[in-house]
Chains A and B, each alone.
Chain A
Amino acid sequence: MTEPLLRAVELTKIVTSGEAPLTILDDVGFSINAGDAVAVVGASGSGKTTLLGLLAGLDQPTRGDVWLDGTALSTLDEDARAALRQRLLGFVFQSFQLLPHLTALENVMLPLELAGAADAASSAKDWLGRVGLAKRTTHYPKQLSGGEQQRVAIARAFAGEPKLLMADEPTGNLDNATGEEVIDLMFRLNREHGTTLLLVTHDASLAGRCARKLSLSAGRLVGDAALVH
């Protein structure tokens, strides 16, 4: 059996806020294979975003470990985790997280430039074309609509050709129709590139488009269902 792309082992996150320690994630474990599309669902405050931060190596668990492409994150320091992120991960955020002083093109170029890609500009232009924004390359985020901003973010996430795309409430800041368009785009690119997809959402229709659904409640994994289309 091949090693799963992502494996969470007994993940627990406890924060001390005020007097009492607060358990945000409690002994969560699961695996995701390459090519899967997985939705993490749960009510607000159920620990979804914390889980995503831990899986991406942006935060460290109190107990447990995350194995990403065969490497235990706990064995890496922050810089090594960063290098792993650069190699494997792409991100799409609820609030888009475009840098306001960069144009659409420059926002897409940034991770490529960081990775030292020689053809960052042409590659970024190409990706903007694929998300339908070929004519908006020189626009600043504030000149773009919410849907357009999220499409730039998607282009930025895919441009690095990640193995695993992590999306945190990608439709959270968009109206329904725009959200649908963005989701369609994301799934289309995902299919075309064989990317593994990990989606955090409380949007049932979005979760319904994933083959597998992990349900969190009060920090515990309460459901792991394969959905049949």
Chain B
Amino acid sequence: MNTVRLAFRMLSRDWRAGELTILIAAMVLAVASIGTVGFFADRVKGALGKQANLLLGADVLISGDRPLPDRFTAEATRRGLTSTPVLRFNSMVRRDDGDAAGTGAVLADVKAVAPRYPLRGTVVLVDAANESGTPARDIPARGVAWPDARLAARLDIKVGDALAVGEATLKVGAIVQQEPEIASGLLAIGPRLLINLDDVPATNLMQPGNRATYRLLVADLSTRGALDPYLTWLQGELTAGQRMENVRDLRPEVRQTLERAEQFLGLSALVAVILAAVAVALAASRYLRRHLDAAAMLRCFGAPRRQALALFVLQFAALGVIASLVGIALALLGQGLLVALLTAVAPADLPPPGLLPAASAFATGVILLFGFALPPLIALANVPPLRVLRRDLPRPKSGGIVAYLLGAAVIALLIAWQAQDAKAGAIMVGGIGGLLVVAAFVAWLLIVLLKRVPQRGGTWRFGLANLRRRPLASSLQIGALALGFMALLLLTVVRGDLMQNWRASIPADAPNHFVLNVLPEQVEGVRKAMQEAEVSTPLYPMVRGRLVEVNGKRLDTAQYADTRSRRLAEREFNLSFASELPKSNRIVAGKWFDGATGPQAGISMEKGIADSLRLKVGDTLTFDIAGTPATAAITSLRKVEWDSFRPNFFTLFAPGVLESMPQTYLGAVRLPDQKAAAWLSALVQDYPNVLAIDVGEILRQVQMIIGQVAKAVEFVFLFTLVGGLLVLQAAIAATQDERRFDAAILRTLGASRAQLSAAQNAEFLVLGALAGTLGSAGATAIGYVLSDRVFNIPFSANPMVWLYGIAGGMIVVTLAGWLGTRGTMRQPPLAVIRQLA
């Protein structure tokens, strides 16, 4: 009991004397950044995903070729989820004006919906008074149908007219301008008709043989986190012919955007934590050096080893708890600010912050402290009491190699825990760890080289001699400083470039309409029409085929454990051919065709799908194209920027294989909003079979997500900024006492203040220049790897990084060093020696 009380007293005395400032700041920072991102992930990331779910009309969509079992609905209800069934089928739709022959029938994509549809987003109806339409408040009533604008135009009907679906006659209640469920089935959309599910029996269309799709939309409207367990349950219940899809599965551009968003956020937090860990380590080792005497005195006064250890451990435990609590309070504040920042853009029904992120942030604080502070603490308790008489006794090693291993293990643990993406995490850790090692090594090398340089001028020589005198300490200090500069450069210059490149990856002129189903004989005419648009892509040929064999063996889709891969393999592929590598594609393995033709020139696969299906360069694939097999080997893998919003293909053949196969063409155009309707209706008039799909909404969603995440990332980077500054501060403070002592000794030997300043400035300038150079190199390298390997964004090196890094390093380190030792120059040397001896 006495020990506990004494530990608290000692802690408060240390705190008052300012011994703990850096340590506490580093701890608070680590906990606050982990906490903020944790809270953020808990609340806002879900909201971002939900925003994307507007495109789907639900959080998840279950579909099957036969009616779905009732227990899917029952289980969803039991778990507090909301669900609504949808039945989708194709049917000829006629205008019903008494004339049985009518004005002709149009094949429509009929969607029969029940109350509460859609669960996410809204159906927007055409409104003569309002160009952007009116949101529908309900679904079509019984006996009422809502055709979309295309169907209405093709049938030449208006509100109040009647139309016939199968044997039922329905009244047109409204014209649909925009539907939320635009994410699914991009390539299978005809004109659409929305009807009430209760009217389906009257159509008498659900006969055996009619291909209908039964769907269940499910959403977690009460935001209680019930969705994931439900999906896990569902996974085990799905049988052949039943699928579960979310917006990420369906829209690669949305998936890519959300994934990048999560990576950006996760990485920012990770960098902050790693920096904080380095700052904690530096601060703890300084604490050790400054408390050696105290520990020796405690032992001399009769404290047993156990009690001395308990005193220091208790102090640190209390410190950890207090710093963690402060960190969590800051995190709550931070995420509140973050949410306020984001909801200004898009109000979202956010759940309150949960306890879990707080607990994990707290654990981070405690793990950090004990990972980095325990070894020095044990060393403190082991200090020989004889030190009170003999100051020249060697300082106890702060746990030696074990301490470093423990520290590395703690960082690895934190990363494994916090990194959403193993690869990005590994790159960060490898980059930072590598930088530290390389920086220390290069610094050591340079210091050794300095010895060989003929040296003139006393003060410079003395300053540089200081660096040489402790090569290991100087190297580590340069390494830590370089790390700090690297973080600052990463987040000022490189981050700006990364974010800008990310934003630019969706070009301002991205197409907002896809034109599909163009027949070969229509290509010339449609191309001409497309050239009237603001922006247009070429028309690409498209052949549909099923993957049937891999390396001569029948494809067994059961080998894919995850449903996404299985579904990708089961689906019909959209195949195309090209002689030139399409824009926004780049080869990451193998070789592009480069003029080669025919089956022997092979196939170029998209990297992501090849990974999912475990295909590699050299594998031979056979596609079944309307009964005809087409076989070729994979000769290259491509990365595709899906968010370019251009037509892209998973599978490209070389020219000379697919030309004779049945094919249609597709392309994309960008149309200004006010011109879109006129252009589209003219196109459809000339080519009735051509489909035009508006992806403007998807484009807007993706851009909005990027905009919001950019804000969030900037905010989280603030923590990294503080982390970088802390490391700089801790690295400079680490050798401050030694420097002050040296300076005092030199002054007693008759060195003038000017000489001392010059010597010190020389040392700090070299130190800063070395650290700045290494930091710039590290920032450039990590920036390159991140954009190339993780974010798939084109990388452009920014030469300013080097200027800022090196000049900044020299100025900052010299200034900080001057501030830290300024007091020493004025104090009488004896006082300093007494204080520090």
Show the binding face of A for B, using Cβ within 8 Å: 49, 52-53, 56, 58-59, 78-79, 82-87, 89, 91, 93, 95-97, 99-102, 106, 110-111, 113-116, 140-142, 146, 160, 168, 173
| B14 lies within 8 A of A82 (CB) | no
Say which residue of B294, B389, B391, B834 sits within 8 Å of A99 (CB atoms): B294
Given A82-B303, A114-B6, A114-B303, verify A97-B385 contact (CB < 8 Å): no
Given A78-B305, A86-B301, verify A113-B834 contact (CB < 8 Å): no
| B19 lies within 8 A of A91 (CB) | no
| B302 lies within 8 A of A83 (CB) | yes
Given A49-B389, A93-B389, A97-B293, verify A114-B301 contact (CB < 8 Å): yes
**Chain B residues whose CB sits within 8 angstroms of the CB of A110 once the complex forms:** 297-298, 301
**Chain A residues whose CB sits within 8 angstroms of the CB of B297 once the complex forms:** 97, 99, 110
Cα distance, A82 to B302, chains bound together (Å) = 4
Given A95-B837, A97-B388, A99-B294, verify A114-B302 contact (CB < 8 Å): yes
Q: Is B206 an interface residue (CB 8 A)?
A: no
Instruction: Identify the interface centre among B293, B305, B389: most chain A CB within 10 Å of its CB.
Output: B389
**Chain A residues whose CB sits within 8 angstroms of the CB of B298 once the complex forms:** 110, 114
State how many angstroms separate the Cβ of A115 from the closest Cβ of chain B.
7
Cα distance, A106 to B11, chains bound together (Å) = 13
**Chain B residues whose CB sits within 8 angstroms of the CB of A96 once the complex forms:** 834
State how many angstroms separate the Cβ of B300 from the closest Cβ of chain A.
6
State how many angstroms separate the Cβ of B470 from the closest Cβ of chain A.
22
Say which residue of B9, B304, B391, B835 sits within 8 Å of A83 (CB atoms): B304
**Chain A residues whose CB sits within 8 angstroms of the CB of B837 once the complex forms:** 95
Cα distance, A102 to B303, chains bound together (Å) = 18
- Please name the residue on chain B nearest to A149 by beta carbon: B834
Given A95-B837, A106-B13, verify A86-B390 contact (CB < 8 Å): no
Given A93-B388, A142-B835, verify A101-B19 contact (CB < 8 Å): yes
**Chain B residues whose CB sits within 8 angstroms of the CB of A84 once the complex forms:** 302
| A82 lies within 8 A of B385 (CB) | yes
Cα distance, A113 to B299, chains bound together (Å) = 13
Q: Is B819 an interface residue (CB 8 A)?
A: no
Cα distance, A24 to B189, chains bound together (Å) = 97
Say which residue of A59, A87, A99, A142 sits within 8 Å of B386 (CB atoms): A59
- Please name the residue on chain A nearest to B385 by beta carbon: A58
Cα distance, A53 to B393, chains bound together (Å) = 13
State how many angstroms separate the Cβ of A162 from the closest Cβ of chain B.
10
- Please name the residue on chain B nearest to A49 by beta carbon: B389
- Please name the residue on chain A nearest to B393 by beta carbon: A59
| A100 lies within 8 A of B835 (CB) | yes
| A168 lies within 8 A of B389 (CB) | yes
Supply 29 A–B pairs (Cβ within 8 Å), ascending by A: A49-B389, A49-B390, A53-B386, A53-B389, A53-B390, A58-B385, A58-B386, A58-B388, A59-B384, A59-B386, A78-B305, A82-B304, A89-B302, A96-B834, A97-B297, A99-B293, A99-B294, A101-B16, A111-B301, A111-B302, A113-B2, A114-B302, A114-B303, A115-B302, A140-B17, A141-B835, A142-B831, A142-B835, A160-B301
| A85 lies within 8 A of B302 (CB) | yes
Cα distance, A116 to B6, chains bound together (Å) = 9
Q: Is B306 an interface residue (CB 8 A)?
A: yes
**Chain A residues whose CB sits within 8 angstroms of the CB of B9 once the complex forms:** 113
| B14 lies within 8 A of A85 (CB) | no
9 new A-B contacts, CB < 8 A, other than A53-B390, A79-B304, are: A58-B384, A59-B384, A59-B386, A78-B305, A82-B299, A102-B17, A111-B302, A115-B301, A142-B835
Given A95-B837, A113-B9, A142-B835, verify A85-B386 contact (CB < 8 Å): no
Show the binding face of B for A, using Cβ within 8 Å: 2, 6, 9, 13-14, 16-17, 19, 293-294, 297-307, 384-386, 388-391, 831, 834-835, 837
Grouping DSSP codes into helix (H, G, I), strand (E, B) and loop, the B interface class, with mixed when no group exceeds half, is helix
State how many angstroms separate the Cβ of B294 from the closest Cβ of chain A.
5
Cα distance, A95 to B834, chains bound together (Å) = 7
Say which residue of B302, B303, B834 sits within 8 Å of A173 (CB atoms): B834
State how many angstroms separate the Cβ of B287 from the closest Cβ of chain A.
11
Cα distance, A168 to B386, chains bound together (Å) = 13
**Chain B residues whose CB sits within 8 angstroms of the CB of A102 once the complex forms:** 13, 17
Cα distance, A142 to B17, chains bound together (Å) = 12
Cα distance, A168 to B387, chains bound together (Å) = 13
Cα distance, A95 to B833, chains bound together (Å) = 10
**Chain A residues whose CB sits within 8 angstroms of the CB of B305 once the complex forms:** 78-79, 82
- Please name the residue on chain B nearest to A54 by beta carbon: B386
| A101 lies within 8 A of B14 (CB) | yes
| B17 lies within 8 A of A101 (CB) | yes
State how many angstroms separate the Cβ of A196 from the closest Cβ of chain B.
17
**Chain B residues whose CB sits within 8 angstroms of the CB of A78 once the complex forms:** 304-305, 385
Cα distance, A95 to B837, chains bound together (Å) = 8
The 3 A-B residue pairs with the shortest CB-CB distance, nearest first, are A86-B302, A101-B17, A79-B304
**Chain B residues whose CB sits within 8 angstroms of the CB of A49 once the complex forms:** 389-390
**Chain A residues whose CB sits within 8 angstroms of the CB of B831 once the complex forms:** 142
Cα distance, A140 to B19, chains bound together (Å) = 14
**Chain B residues whose CB sits within 8 angstroms of the CB of A168 once the complex forms:** 389
**Chain A residues whose CB sits within 8 angstroms of the CB of B13 once the complex forms:** 101-102, 106
State how many angstroms separate the Cβ of B3 from the closest Cβ of chain A.
9
Cα distance, A105 to B679, chains bound together (Å) = 89
**Chain B residues whose CB sits within 8 angstroms of the CB of A52 once the complex forms:** 389
Say which residue of B14, B389, B834, B835 sits within 8 Å of A58 (CB atoms): B389
**Chain A residues whose CB sits within 8 angstroms of the CB of B6 once the complex forms:** 113-114
State how many angstroms separate the Cβ of B731 from the closest Cβ of chain A.
22
- Please name the residue on chain A nearest to B387 by beta carbon: A58
| B300 lies within 8 A of A58 (CB) | yes
